[in-house]
Amino acid sequence: MTISSSLNAGVAGLSANASKLATISDNIANSSTYGYKRAVADFHSMVIESGKGGYSAGGVRVTTQRLIDERGPLVSTSNATDLAVRGRGMLPVSDASAIGGAGDLPFKLSTTGSFRPDADGYLTTSSGLVLMGWAANPDGTIPTHPRDTIGGLEPVQINANQFFGNATTAIDLAVNLPATETEAGASGETQELSIEYFDNLGKSESLSITFVPTVPGAGASNEWTMVLEDSASGGAVIGEYTLTFDDTRGDGGRLLSVTDVSGGPYDPATGTIQVNVAGGPVDIDIGTLGDPGGLTQLSDAFAPVSISKDGSPVGNMTSVEVDANGNVHAYFDNGMSRLIYKVPLVDVPNPNGLLTQDHQSYTVTPDSGPFFLWDAGDGPTGDVVSFAREESATDVAGELTQLIQTQRAYSSNAKVIQTVDEMLQETTNIKR
């Protein structure tokens, strides 16, 4: 029995070291595989109860595990949609082959991937993994989705032929009017200003603003009439306001009062008036009362100091980038950008309990625990790094060292089997 148990222990040793050799071979073979997680083999002794007069060898057994929570170094690339996770968390992905089929897409996880648009615009790796995210609303906001289900996730699809225009909704004016034009004997010359804006269809329109001074019979009126006309409305007047400026020491040249004749009322808290152009309301900031900015009346020069507005003409999409918080932005040749998707990071209590799939992807199991979808950078998760890939977690030098040790251990177990065989042969020879 003792000799037989020695033989079994030697065979178990050969099997265990063969399993360890397999993990070492896999690690070395994938030393250049992006996102590869190192596999390890652990040995555990087996104890078989025996009587006081003898001992039976229990041998060894082996368990293998993939260290998914062990991250490889990040390396920079030239592709904006090469993504890697820096810290805890994983990217939600699915199989591109399942898109368009019946039922829900399979839910998988990955720590890195080189995503590029396929023929249908889906951000897909060369191995067939498609990036998943939450689609943004037309106004650029992300809807609220449950974080413990994948119901809101959908494949990230890029339409390279899309156009984007942004209507003008706000204009800031900083204009100086000549104080000499509101004095007795002045010529009463009107001052004109034309401001381009963009309508709801991205077309260029103009807002014409005329400043008409009030010329008194004596002294100075410090008063102007501001008239606004909209080209998209056929040149119709959409607002008229009476402006009075302060002439006291310290506050001279600043707005004293604004009286609306037509158009939306002046809001003294924000310093804005609201006029309705053909496409809808536009807020025009002319400055609060007593504010040195906005509209002023100083000296003898008409000077549009600063004019700024939102909105943009229609532009073609030129690129797509993902920021550290997982927001997918589309950039256009008109200088505008638009949020189109948000990619969350998936976290599980035990990453090493995930089931390993092909192409450095993983699926959730009872051993990994339930998943939760975090915004990148929130909670326990790290952030998303674009223009980057995660390299293999394999340390080739360490694996080669273990390879030598495993080879020696395998040879030693083979020697045990050879020795047991010789001892059994001697036992057989006793009968002779």
Asked if pLDDT for residue 52 goes beyond 70, the answer is no
Mean pLDDT of 84-93: 96
Which residue's structure tokens are 């050799």? 21
Same-domain pairing of 50 and 103: no
| Mean pLDDT of the chain, nearest integer | 92
pLDDT of residue 369: 95
Same-domain pairing of 182 and 274: yes
Same-domain pairing of 175 and 282: yes
Torsions phi, psi of 126, nearest 5?
A: -65, -20
Q: Can you tell me the distance from the alpha carbon of 10 to that of 18, in angstroms, rounded to the nearest whole number?
A: 12
Same-domain pairing of 200 and 301: yes
Asked if pLDDT for residue 428 goes beyond 70, the answer is yes
CATH number of the domain encompassing residue 244: 2.60.98.20
Residue 55 lies in a domain: yes
What secondary structure letter does DSSP report for 90? B
Residue 131 lies in a domain: yes
Task: Write the burial class of residue 144 (CB in 10 Å: 0-12 exposed, 13-18 middle, 19+ buried).
Answer: exposed
Measured from the Cβ of residue 175, the count of other Cβ atoms closer than 10 Å reads 21
Q: What is the pLDDT of residues 344-368, one digit of tens each?
A: 999 999 999 999 999 999 999 999 9
Q: Name residue 277's beta-bridge partners.
A: 280
Length reported for the chain: 432
Mean pLDDT of 41-58: 77
Of 39 and 423, the one with more pLDDT: 39
pLDDT of residue 53: 65
Same-domain pairing of 267 and 176: yes
pLDDT band at 421 (very low <50, low <70, confident <90, very high): confident
Q: Percentage of residues in the chain with pLDDT exceeding 90? A: 74
Q: Can you tell me the distance from the alpha carbon of 175 to that of 172, in angstroms, rounded to the nearest whole number?
A: 10
Residue 230 lies in a domain: yes
Number of domains the chain is built from: 3
Residue 310 lies in a domain: no
Show which of 255, 273, 305 is a domain's final residue. Answer: 305
Q: What is the pLDDT of residues 103-118, one digit of tens each?
A: 788 999 999 999 999 9
Same-domain pairing of 377 and 419: no
User: Could you write out the DSSP letters of every residue in 188-204?
Assistant: ---EEEEEEEE-TTS-E
Asked if pLDDT for residue 283 goes beyond 60, the answer is yes
Residue 411 lies in a domain: yes
Mean pLDDT of 4-21: 86
Measured from the Cβ of residue 39, the count of other Cβ atoms closer than 10 Å reads 20
Asked if pLDDT for residue 1 goes beyond 60, the answer is no
Cα–Cα nearest to 113, from 88, 94, 135 = 94
Task: Write the burial class of residue 148 (CB in 10 Å: 0-12 exposed, 13-18 middle, 19+ buried).
Answer: exposed
pLDDT of residue 432: 65
pLDDT of residue 400: 95
Cα–Cα nearest to 207, from 297, 259, 274, 295 = 274
Parallel, antiparallel or unpaired: strands 312-322 and 163-166: antiparallel
Residue 275 lies in a domain: yes
248-285 burial string, b = 16+ CB within 10 Å, else e? Answer: eeeeebbbbebeeeebbebeeeebbbebebebeebbbb
pTM above 0.85, yes or no: no
User: Could you write out the DSSP letters of every residue in 286-303?
Assistant: ---TT-SSSSEE-TT--E
What secondary structure letter does DSSP report for 182? G
Q: Can you tell me the distance from the alpha carbon of 272 to that of 288, in angstroms, rounded to the nearest whole number?
A: 8
Residue 382 lies in a domain: yes
The answer to whether the beta carbons of residues 357 and 102 sit under 8 Å apart is: no
Residue 380 lies in a domain: yes
Report how far apart, in Å, the C-alpha atoms of 355 and of each of 109, 131, 260, 287, 352 are. 10, 19, 69, 62, 8
Where is average pLDDT lowest: 62-66, 185-189, 196-200, 331-335? 331-335
Show which of 274, 305, 336 is a domain's final residue. Answer: 305
Same-domain pairing of 178 and 298: yes
Of 400 and 335, the one with more pLDDT: 400
Mean pLDDT of 70-94: 96
Q: Can you tell me the distance from the alpha carbon of 60 to that of 49, in angstroms, rounded to the nearest whole number?
A: 15
Torsions phi, psi of 68, nearest 5?
A: -70, -30
The answer to whether the beta carbons of residues 127 and 118 sit under 8 Å apart is: no
Asked if pLDDT for residue 131 goes beyond 90, the answer is yes
51-82 burial string, b = 16+ CB within 10 Å, else e? Answer: eeeeebbbbbebeeebebeebbebeebeebbb
Parallel, antiparallel or unpaired: strands 296-297 and 170-177: parallel
Where is average pLDDT lowest: 10-14, 83-87, 235-239, 384-388? 10-14
Q: Can you tell me the distance from the alpha carbon of 280 to that of 246, in angstroms, rounded to the nearest whole number?
A: 33
Measured from the Cβ of residue 137, the count of other Cβ atoms closer than 10 Å reads 9
Torsions phi, psi of 431, nearest 5?
A: -65, -30
Same-domain pairing of 333 and 363: yes
Q: What is the pLDDT of residues 189-221, one digit of tens each?
A: 999 999 999 998 888 999 999 999 999 999 999
Same-domain pairing of 323 and 412: no
pLDDT band at 22 (very low <50, low <70, confident <90, very high): very high
Report how far apart, in Å, the C-alpha atoms of 266 and of each of 236, 240, 256, 270 are. 20, 11, 13, 9
Q: Six-digit token pair at 316?
A: 């073609």
pLDDT of residue 423: 84
pLDDT of residue 163: 76
Same-domain pairing of 52 and 80: no
Same-domain pairing of 11 and 49: yes
Domain extent, residue 15, equals: 2-67+393-429
Q: Name residue 260's beta-bridge partners.
A: 241
Same-domain pairing of 180 and 281: yes
Torsions phi, psi of 187, nearest 5?
A: -70, -20
